[in-house]
Homo-oligomer: A and B are copies of this chain.
Amino acid sequence: MPAATSPRISDSPAIRDRPRITVICGGVGAARFLRALTSVVDPSTVTAIINVADDMVLHGLSISPDIDTVTYTLAEAIDPERGWGLRNETWAAMDALGRYGDRNWFRLGDQDLATHLQRTARLAEGATLTDVTSEIGRAWGIDVTLLPVSNDPVSTRVTRADTGDEISFQEYFVGEQHDIALSSVRFDGIEHATATPEVLAALDAADVIVIAPSNPLVSIAPVVDIPGVREAIEQRSVPCVAISPIVGGAALKGPAARMLDELGHDATASGVAQLWAALTDVLVIDDQDAHRSGEIASIGVVPYVTDTIMAGPTRSAALARAVLSAARIASSIRPTEIRS
């Protein structure tokens, strides 16, 4: 992979005025970034390629947590406190399920259930996950193109450090509230999965590729490890900009920092740069990680320092603009310094 020797700030017009932006996405962090991005660019220029390795069949229902989080967030329907599920949600079905035992550990709201019922019904009718994701997005009035990375089943499996037992991601994330140590992560079925034609086309057509601030190990990895995706990103002729989900050595949400640490990585923006060095030209890092710029540059990734905390629309929009600026920088430096 090509490497940049140092950051260089410019405002090159080398990418088009309305660049086509393809974003590699997990759940909450990606959803918030997409919302920010679509506040500063035409949403129809944005394509989200979304992780499906958290997907599961629960009680017969096909559930796609990351797709739903992105969809509900872009629809301004996400519950702002929980960060997942729908606002003004009710829980009558889950409460009633309690009569039958403890099967209601994975809380599905009543309105949210409708999405899973619809998805399950459409899949049973022969629709692909790509079809139904698009249909559900349109039903919510979303102009961003929402693409599951694959129509094939891929399942994140994690191994508990304490017992050595392998459990599903949702058992870890929801059932254990990610409060246990892990010794390994794998993506069951990924070697037989293929990226959809729509995903490969979106990567090919992109003027900018963005890696959203999602968990590197369980959100971004199972997207880029789908056969064909990493190759498409590595062989791109356009800039790639990633946003570090690690700020000041911690994740803003979720277990990314402790997972990085437990699984032998550096739980810092530098550790993220190492993981993504082969994928991205630029890593957008937070102001409080500015002192890591040299280290990140030495890894071969251009650091771009800004406020990455998406607290409120103004700061979120500023981050989105910063990502576009970083893409212009990468575009300007790629031909000479990166792509030489």
Binding site for B on A (CB under 8 A): 57-62, 90, 92-97, 99-101, 103, 110-115, 117-118, 120-121, 124, 135-136, 139-140
A93-B111, A111-B93 are contacts. A135–B60 as well, Cβ < 8 Å? no
**Docked pose: A298 CA to B115 CA in angstroms:** 58
Are B90 and A103 within 8 A (Cβ)? no
Residues on the B chain within 8 Å of A115, using CB: 96, 100
Instruction: Please give, as numbers and ranges, the residues of chain B lying within 8 Å of A121 by CB-CB distance.
Output: 58-60, 103
A314 CB → nearest B CB, Å: 31
A114 near B97 with CB under 8 A, answer: yes
Residues of B within 8 A of A140 (CB): 99
B contact residues around A112 at 8 Å (CB): 96
**A59 and B120 contacting across the interface, CB-CB below 8 Å:** yes
Residues of chain B within 8 A of A118, CB atoms compared: 59, 97, 100-101, 103
* Copies of this chain: 2
Q: Is the CB of A114 within 8 A of B100?
A: yes
Partner of A100, one of B62, B110, B124, B135: B135
Nearest B residue to A90 via CB reads B92
Binding site of A, secondary structure by majority: helix, strand, loop or mixed? Answer: helix
CB closest chain-B residue, reference A62: B60
Among residues of B, the one whose C-beta sits closest to the C-beta of A88 is B92
* CB neighbours of A58 from chain B (8 A): 121
How far, in Å, is A305 (CB) from chain B's closest CB? Answer: 42
Q: Are B97 and A60 in contact (CB under 8 A)?
A: no
- State whether A92 touches B111 (Cβ < 8 A): yes
Contact (Cβ within 8 A) A110 B93 = yes
Chain B nearest CB from A267 CB (Å) reads 37
Name the B residues within 8 Å of A92 (CB-CB).
90, 92, 110-111
**A90 and B61 contacting across the interface, CB-CB below 8 Å:** no
Pick the residue among B59, B62, B96 that contacts A110 (CB under 8 A).
B96
Most chain B beta-carbon neighbours within 10 Å: one of A60, A99, A135, A140: A60
Complex: A114 Cα to B97 Cα, angstroms: 5
**Could you list 12 further interchain pairs (A-B, Cβ under 8 angstroms) beyond the known A61-B117, A94-B114, A96-B110?**
A59-B121, A60-B60, A60-B62, A60-B120, A90-B90, A92-B111, A93-B113, A93-B117, A96-B113, A97-B117, A101-B139, A103-B121
